[in-house]
Structure 1
Amino acid sequence: MRFGPVAAALSLALAVQASIGHAQQYQVDPRSAALVAEGRASLDAGDTQAAIDAFEAALAVDPGNTQVYLELANAARADGLQGKAIHYYREAQERDPENLAAISGEGEALVEKGALSAARQNLERLESLCGETCIETVQLSAAIDRGPPVMTAEAVSADDEVTQN
């Protein structure tokens, strides 16, 4: 009984020391990096579906690569799929909670969907992480100031004649 607290403290110290020794910098798979480069080239060329295919292949090769989720989100936004983009941005944030690009991108996608209050929460989070002058904060603030895109409907002239079925 006398050695119980000492043994518990010693085992805790050894466990913490062992976990520190195993922590390493994440290494991106070179095949994944090549597929991401291919996807970026496709996205720059305007072929969003080919870009999405390349990014999904990169994700299959290296599911731990957070950058792939950001690229998928950007491709989804380019394709007009803001809901899917928000999903990918949140996946990136689960892997790296302080990823400024993911927080900012999610905020911009939220603005595009018209969810300004949620986008403002992302802006507040960015301001607390990196301040008011970092690039991501400035970009999201500008997107919020612009507001959601306005959709217009074409005017349709009513027929003068009404028929009965």
Structure 2
Amino acid sequence: MRFAAPAAALAIVFAMTASVGQSDDHVTDPRAAALVAQGHAAIAAGQPEKAVDAYEAALAVDPAATGIFLDLAEAARLNGLQGKAIRYYRLALEREPDNLAALSGEGAALVEKGAVEKARRNLAKLQSMCGDKCPETSQLAAAIAKGPQQRVLTAEAVLPDAVVTQKN
């Protein structure tokens, strides 16, 4: 009888810990949630640089939020920084190895970077985890079918070097 109250309290703690561990979108701090919302608004407005600032601030406020890494990765991809996006996806996968969105996003970034074979490994993982009907699987399969992005060469990139000569 003496142990009933502590046992009940311990059971509640374990139940809460288990439910928090199963959460996909752990953003508990309201300040972080507000910053994430600002980042989403910046993405919608076509300003991925401002979104990165908001997401990084949110991550500083709530470093346990894996979803913020996914948001940072998406903003990096929109900025054309696939290598940085892959790093953010891998940080998310270190925290949650079975995160389907991180596997799919990393695979899409790998395709954009030209590493199609590595992306196919991610696709195989996704297919084994959730099958072909999963939205993440179909998104990555579509990205692989589309292939790597073609690099666009701008006129500024091919300007000849200016040579100054002196006339006598």
**Alignment partner, residue 75 of structure 2:** 75
**Alignment partner, residue 23 of structure 1:** 17
Q: Deviations over 1:109-135 (max 9, x none)?
A: 000000000000000000011001110
Against the structure 1 CA distance between its residues 154 and 99, is the aligned structure 2 distance closer, same or farther, given a 3 Å change threshold?
A: closer
Against the structure 1 CA distance between its residues 20 and 44, is the aligned structure 2 distance closer, same or farther, given a 3 Å change threshold?
A: same
Q: Deviations over 1:84-111 (max 9, x none)?
A: 0000001111111111000000000000
> Are 2:88 and 1:88 aligned?
yes
TM-score by length of 1: 0.78
Distance, in Å, in 1 between the alignment partners of 2:83 and 2:152 is: 21
Against the structure 1 CA distance between its residues 153 and 46, is the aligned structure 2 distance closer, same or farther, given a 3 Å change threshold?
A: closer
Instruction: Show structure 2 runs of 5+ residues with no match.
Output: 1-10, 21-25, 159-168
Bigger drift between 56-65 and 44-53 goes to: 44-53
Q: Secondary structure at the match of 1:23?
A: helix
> Are 2:116 and 1:116 aligned?
yes
Distance, in Å, in 2 between the alignment partners of 1:31 and 1:133 is: 36
TM-score by length of 2: 0.77
Q: How do 1:1-165 and structure 2 match up within 5 A?
A: 20=14, 23-26=17-20, 28-151=28-151, 153=153
Identity between Structure 1 and Structure 2 (%): 57
Against the structure 1 CA distance between its residues 123 and 31, is the aligned structure 2 distance closer, same or farther, given a 3 Å change threshold?
A: same
Counterpart of 1:23 in structure 2: which amino acid? T
Q: Secondary structure at the match of 2:19?
A: coil
TM-fit CA distance, 1:21? 5.8
RMSD: 2.3
TM-fit CA distance, 1:29? 1.3
Instruction: Show structure 1 runs of 5+ residues with no match.
Output: 1-16, 157-165
Query: Highest CA radius of gyration, 1 or 2?
Result: 1
TM-fit CA distance, 1:152? 5.2
TM-fit CA distance, 1:48? 1.2
TM-fit CA distance, 1:42? 0.6
TM-fit CA distance, 1:22? 6.8
Counterpart of 1:100 in structure 2: which amino acid? L
Distance, in Å, in 1 between the alignment partners of 2:42 and 2:153 is: 32
